[in-house]
Amino acid sequence: MRRSMTTLILATTLLIAGGSSFFQARAAGLKNVHVHEGYDKQQLMGQMKIYARSLGVKCGYCHVKGDFPSDDKANKRAARSMMKMVKSLNRDYFPDPDGVRVTCFTCHQGKKLPLNTPE
């Protein structure tokens, strides 16, 4: 009886310790995120796929291969600044969450650089 109690306590301790380190890892999983604060990894990935498709590019257009947190690529730095711009545009001019909002696609339309004059 005593022995199984010890085992139970040990197992519970391991579960709690393991569980909290799991959540810590998840929270710390994103290392260099300034615009998407509070996103979990899955939400961030959904957003990343939309960014890539909005510009018609792959992840490597902005990211150093094998090092997603790195800011070494100019395109990533430019993209972060664009994300801030989009955020403030929507906050200041298109605040209705059910209305049409500005996104990367609004300007880029699947291209690396938006067209400034009609085709």
Which residues sit opposite 64 in a β-bridge? 67
| CB atoms near residue 63 (< 10 Å) | 20
Is residue 52 involved in binding ligand HEC (CB under 6 A)?
yes
For the window 64-93, what string marks contact with ligand HEC as x by the rule CB under 6 A?
----xx-----xx-xxx-xx--x-------
Tell me which of 2, 4, 5, 34 binds ligand HEC, using CB under 6 A: 34
Footprint of ligand HEC on residues 89-118 (CB under 6 A)? 102, 104, 106-108, 113-114
3-state secondary structure string across 82-117: HHHHHHHHHHHHCCCCCCCCCCHHHHHCCCCCCCCC
For the window 13-32, what string marks contact with ligand HEC as x by the rule CB under 6 A?
-----------------xxx
Q: How far is the CB of 17 from ligand HEC (least distance, A)?
A: 24
Burial code (b: 16+ CB inside 10 Å, e: under 16) for 21-54 equals eeeeeeeeebeeeeeeeeeeeeeeeeeeeebbeb
Positions that interact with ligand HEC (CB under 6 A): 30-36, 44, 48-49, 51-52, 55, 57, 59, 61-63, 68-69, 75-76, 78-80, 82-83, 86, 102, 104, 106-108, 113-114
